[in-house]
Amino acid sequence: MRSITTTNASHYDIQKKRRKDLIEEWRRYRKTIVGRSDVTMVDDPIRRARRGVYVSRDGDRPSMNLDATVHEIAPGTTTTIHRHSWDAVGFVESGHGWTEVDGQRLDWRPWDSFYLPAWSWHRHGNDGDKAATFLTWSVEPMLEWLGAAQIEDAGDTPVEELPPTPRPAPEVVGDHPYARRLQRLRHQPIGSADTRLLTRFEDVRGVVSKRGARSLFLVDSTLGYRTQGLSIVMHELAPGRHQARHRHGGDAYLYVVKGNGHTTVDDVPHAWKTGDLIVVDHWVWHQHVNTDPTTTARLIRVHNVDALYNMMRVLLDPLELIEEPPVLDAPDLEGVVWPDHLLGRPEE
């Protein structure tokens, strides 16, 4: 059947309106602080857990890059097993439990971190007598935007009966373009076989950075993880001190594990407390401040570096995507005695 275009608008007009509409929509999403009190925990009868949304279309706070969700597993409960086309990272807030990834059980406790590779079958459980709570961050919004977000739920099917992780076509010998593609894709990280999956908090060590915070890697390529861009670092701010001001080309989420303070965004302070999520938008000058004069504050920083940032670096070169003042306004840390990094970790 023949189809005839009837629009009278030019390509220029249509594209200009699309760009304007997109930016206006995106600006409506922006929210610097999402308080824990703003997050409603809802029973999830499908997965047998409780879930609350900090940032995601699932909770009417949309994003185009990262989401942030809190999960609660009741005592004696095991969730259904599922998998999805995006990867995710998790941080345990309280309680004891386990996560099973492609049949491998990972026991965890407070402040441990875990990784869920794309297309890995996984479920969570709590064998104890108290609820366990953890947070997850993923790039599901980005994959949904690209039309590549897929999810499968398999109920209580044993993992050995489930289909394996999708693999590329077998590698072939040759130097023609298609052979090169097969050879390259054959070695990209897919599933759980070639990556680290768990970081126990007692095994990490902190290093004070030039920005004035003690930082502890939790999920990062330096620790053996092969994520699709996600990373987790814990920043610890000294009592009454701040982190040096800076800005970057991609957004970052910071979860307040412990403490009180504020984040200044373009000279406007936004107060936060334990359990809140700080959403640092792209290309805004920001600085995190611990307002407690006696106790350190701990923030979990999550962003999508290796995928989104590196792509933006290439697309926007020579624009520098991380910027700091010519002289860092880092705090004077002389005389600061950093507590044992395990201090303040919940026992349950």
Residues 244/245/248/250 CA torsion (nearest 10 deg): 90
pLDDT tens digits, 50-81:
999 999 999 989 998 899 999 999 999 999 99
Give me 117's structure tokens: 């590779």
Q: Is the dihedral of CA 85, 87, 90, 95 positive or negative?
A: positive
* Amino acid at residue number 187: H
Mean of the per-residue pLDDT values of the chain = 92
* Amino acid at residue number 289: V
Q: Which residue has the higher pLDDT, 183 or 256?
A: 256
pLDDT greater than 80 at residue 168: no
pLDDT greater than 70 at residue 6: no
Give me 162's structure tokens: 């489930």
pLDDT tens digits, 273-286:
999 999 999 899 99
What band does 191 get if pLDDT is binned at 50, 70 and 90?
A: confident
Provide mean pLDDT across the span 116-133.
Answer: 96
Residues 53/55/61/62 CA torsion (nearest 10 deg): -130
Q: How far is it, in rounded angstroms, from Cα 343 to Cα 133?
A: 19
Q: How far is it, in rounded angstroms, from Cα 287 to Cα 292?
A: 16
Q: Is 182 helix (H, G, I), strand (E, B) or coil?
A: helix
pLDDT score for 244: 96
What band does 247 get if pLDDT is binned at 50, 70 and 90?
A: very high
pLDDT score for 188: 76
What is the number of other CB atoms lying within 10 angstroms of the CB of residue 57?
Answer: 15
Distances from the Cα of 177 to the Cα of 174, 180, 183, 188, 198, angstroms = 9, 5, 10, 17, 37
Distances from the Cα of 236 to the Cα of 112, 255, 304, angstroms = 16, 12, 20
pLDDT greater than 90 at residue 312: no
pLDDT score for 7: 66
Q: Name all domains of the chain by residue range, CATH numbers in brackets.
A: 33-160+170-185 (2.60.120.10), 198-323 (2.60.120.10)
Q: Is 154 helix (H, G, I), strand (E, B) or coil?
A: coil
pLDDT score for 30: 84
First to last CA, the chain: 67
Instruction: Sheet containing 297-304: give its strands across.
Output: 33-34, 277-280, 252-258, 297-304, 230-237, 213-219, 207-208
Provide mean pLDDT across the span 324-348.
Answer: 92
Q: Nearest-CA neighbor of 83 among 48, 47, 56, 51? A: 47
